[in-house]
Amino acid sequence: MVFFWQNVRADGGLRLTDQGFRCLIDDIGLTSYDIKLWDDNGRIDTGYKFLLDLDKHLEVPYYVQVGRWPRIILFDEQTYFWAIMHGDFQRFLDGHKVRTGI
């Protein structure tokens, strides 16, 4: 589990490690969906609060690339669709928190 997941606790999320991400892309060939984490107003804050929110609210495997051009890569078409429909990923995440009441 340590090979694949960033948070291996029982209540941890589905954030992939670099090795887990490479395995799903290169070895298994899963389809992935890339979403940029910036918009015309600048970058989305990808700090600890953002990462904890992802752990709590995303129910699909994902990989977060931080740095100059941060992005999230999802491994679920439906989640990708809803995130794109919200216009930016932070709005999608905020809407999901309201919907689930967490």
**Tens digit of each residue's pLDDT (9 = 90 or more) over 68-81:** 788 999 999 999 99
Q: Is the dihedral of CA 16, 29, 22, 46 positive or negative?
A: negative
Residues of the chain with pLDDT under 70: 1, 39-40, 96-102
User: Residue 49's pLDDT is what?
Assistant: 87
The set of residues, in sequence order, having a beta carbon less than 8 Å from that of 24 and lying 6+ positions away, is: 16, 30, 32, 61, 75
pTM attached to this predicted model = 0.83
Angle between helices 48-57 and 89-100 (to 10 degrees): 50
CA distance 39 to 9: 33
CA distance 98 to 66: 25
